[in-house]
A and B are shown apart, each in its own frame.
Chain A
Amino acid sequence: MSGINFHGIRAIYTFEMARTMRTLWQSIATPVITTSLYFIVFGGAIGSRIDSIGGVHYGSFLVPGLIMLSLLTQSIANASIGIYFPKFTGTVFELLSAPISAIEMVVGFVGAAATKSVVIGLIILATSALFVPLRIDHPAAMLAFLVLTSITFSMFGFIIGIWARSFEQLNIVPSLLVTPLTFLGGAFYSIDMLPQPWHTVSLFNPVVYLVSGFRWSFFGKGDVAIGWSLGFTGGFLLLCLALIVWIFRTGYRLKN
């Protein structure tokens, strides 16, 4: 066998998507309900006391941050469970013994996880339109950020799934690192609203650059320059890719 194992990639992608279809209602209902609750609590109750941020209505201002919050958690969760579950059940032997390269395997797993995240992101976007007036200044950039962030954090989730030895470990990084960083990364506010030194401290939070770039695609302005956002997202993607290549070369936590 030579060339790219397209059938193998398709098999993994289809299998992972079928897993989502088994819990279709849960997959759709959860982000819709969660987003609605955020809009009721932050947009309605608290947001009614905030006039606007940088000339943008607070309800609308929330939309990119809410989508990014779900995108990061869903991408990590979907990809990490996708590779962790075969390890847990022992079916990983089939993946390791198949004529499929690391890159092909990643394309299958990460592709499926990213697809789910993008769909969920679009569902949240559609749900938001029911609550607030939507404005997207750069739709192509918005879609590009949506896809790029989904792929990058699905790769990050894939790494977590390989690293984790238990379900507890699987949840450590998303719950103790990603969610706090997202909440503190300007999802619900502009970091310009923070006093010093917290404004400077926030600039060390990588999620700030993701949320800022995504918000720029909606309103044409963000907390940091769009170049920084793009650079960070691309850099993190390359870092994850390099880590995955290393994992498959060394067999880290996959092979003895």
Chain B
Amino acid sequence: MQPILSLRQVSKTYASGHTALDHVDLDIKRGEIFALLGPNGAGKTTLISIICGIVTPSTGTILVDGDDAIRHPRTARAKIGLVPQEVAVDMFSRVGSAARFSRGLFGKAPDAAYCDQLLKDLSLWDKRDAKVMELSGGMKRRVMIAKALSHEPDILFLDEPTAGVDVELRRDMWKLIGRLRDRGTTIILTTHYIEEAEEMADRVGVIDKGKLLLVEEKATLMRKLGKRELDLSLVEPLAALPPELADWQLSLEDEGRRLRYTFDAQAERTGIPSLLRTLHDLGIAFKDLDTSKSSLEDIFVDLVGARG
């Protein structure tokens, strides 16, 4: 199936000489939730801004549903909705009219039924006649989403959608994003909350210093790069690791009261049975054991950290 968004060799070098994006290739599948992860200044917002027409790329091509976004921006832009990182909305506007303005700006005829339903879906219906300035921070962010969705875009960009919002609103946002995906909207979100990507994304891209380091199915990524850990709570604390245990990747935690074994979950043999046998032979008893797998955050830190 043709990707809904396709980037080839997209770069951005500013007049100062700073390269914000370095030859990025990326395909986004129709209907997926794609999470772009990266530390601050990695190039996430620049990438989104280029696709949306806010920043001019230095090189590269961008196809939005087959339409060249640089040569024929009108058709491409009509299919895109953007919720920027900062709340940027005319504070004197009323909520309903702000959404209607965005719909018109993007070339859509007025549709009161659609706009009303949108406000209801975003729990803004009761505030439809309120001025934006009168709303809480979370509500303002919902207004931004309403504006971005007002022209029924096929692709929705969410730049750090839950940055600075409380836990409850963050959960609400996740539910909303899930509902949008169910309706067939392709969603691309940037975040540095790994939990967010882990919760929602189908695929994950990691960007750092303008380079796209990897793009992978989230589940595959976690399977490929995920490490597992086995924690053994010892009956008697150990002062040091016995030399007989040198064959396993072990560490002593909690002042010698816990023995941690890190192993590759993908490996054919985990080494756990032999480790347990050796511990028994050495007379090291344990009273409890626990296993855990590494989160996307651990994977992300490993990837970005490895590049220095």
Interface residues of A (CB under 8 A from B): 1-2, 5, 7-8, 10-12, 14-15, 18-19, 22, 85-86, 89-91, 93-101, 251, 255-256
Interface range for B: 35 or more
For the complex, what is the distance from the CA of A191 to the CA of B100, rounded to whole Å? 51
Which of B29-37, B76-84, B188-196, B208-216 is the contact stretch? Answer: B76-84
Task: Select one of A8, A91, A99 contacting B73, CB under 8 A.
Answer: A99
Q: When the two chains form their complex, are residues B104 and A8 in contact, meaning their CB atoms are under 8 A apart? A: yes
For the complex, what is the distance from the CA of A100 to the CA of B78, rounded to whole Å? 9
For the complex, what is the distance from the CA of A101 to the CA of B92, rounded to whole Å? 26
Task: Select one of A11, A89, A91, A101 contacting B74, CB under 8 A.
Answer: A101
Chain B contacts of A12 at CB under 8 A?
A: 105
Chain A contacts of B52 at CB under 8 A?
A: 93, 96-97
Q: When the two chains form their complex, are residues A89 and B88 in contact, meaning their CB atoms are under 8 A apart? A: yes
Contact of A96 with B53 at beta-carbon distance under 8 Å, contacts A22-B92, A89-B90, A91-B90 already known: yes
Which of B3-11, B106-114, B121-129, B253-261 is the contact stretch? Answer: B106-114
Which chain A residue has the least Cβ–Cβ distance from B148? A94
Chain A contacts of B54 at CB under 8 A?
A: 93, 96-97, 255
Which chain B residue has the least Cβ–Cβ distance from A98? B105
B174 within 8 A of A: no
Q: When the two chains form their complex, are residues A100 and B86 in contact, meaning their CB atoms are under 8 A apart? A: no
Q: When the two chains form their complex, are residues A2 and B105 in contact, meaning their CB atoms are under 8 A apart? A: no
B121-160 toward A: CB 8 Å interface, digit per residue (1/0)? 0000000000000000000000000010000000000000
Q: When the two chains form their complex, are residues A94 and B147 in contact, meaning their CB atoms are under 8 A apart? A: yes
Interface of A is mostly: helix
In the assembled complex, how far is the CB of residue B115 from the closest CB belonging to chain A, in whole angstroms? 13
Q: When the two chains form their complex, are residues A255 and B55 in contact, meaning their CB atoms are under 8 A apart? A: yes
B102 within 8 A of A: yes
Contact of A1 with B104 at beta-carbon distance under 8 Å, contacts A97-B52, A99-B73, A255-B54 already known: no
Task: Select one of A11, A86, A99, A256 contacting B77, CB under 8 A.
Answer: A99
B230 within 8 A of A: no
For the complex, what is the distance from the CA of A22 to the CA of B131, rounded to whole Å? 12
Task: Select one of B88, B104, B108 contacting A91, CB under 8 A.
Answer: B88
In the assembled complex, how far is the CB of residue A153 from the closest CB belonging to chain B, in whole angstroms? 24
For the complex, what is the distance from the CA of A11 to the CA of B115, rounded to whole Å? 15
In the assembled complex, how far is the CB of residue B163 from the closest CB belonging to chain A, in whole angstroms? 15
Which chain B residue has the least Cβ–Cβ distance from A6? B107
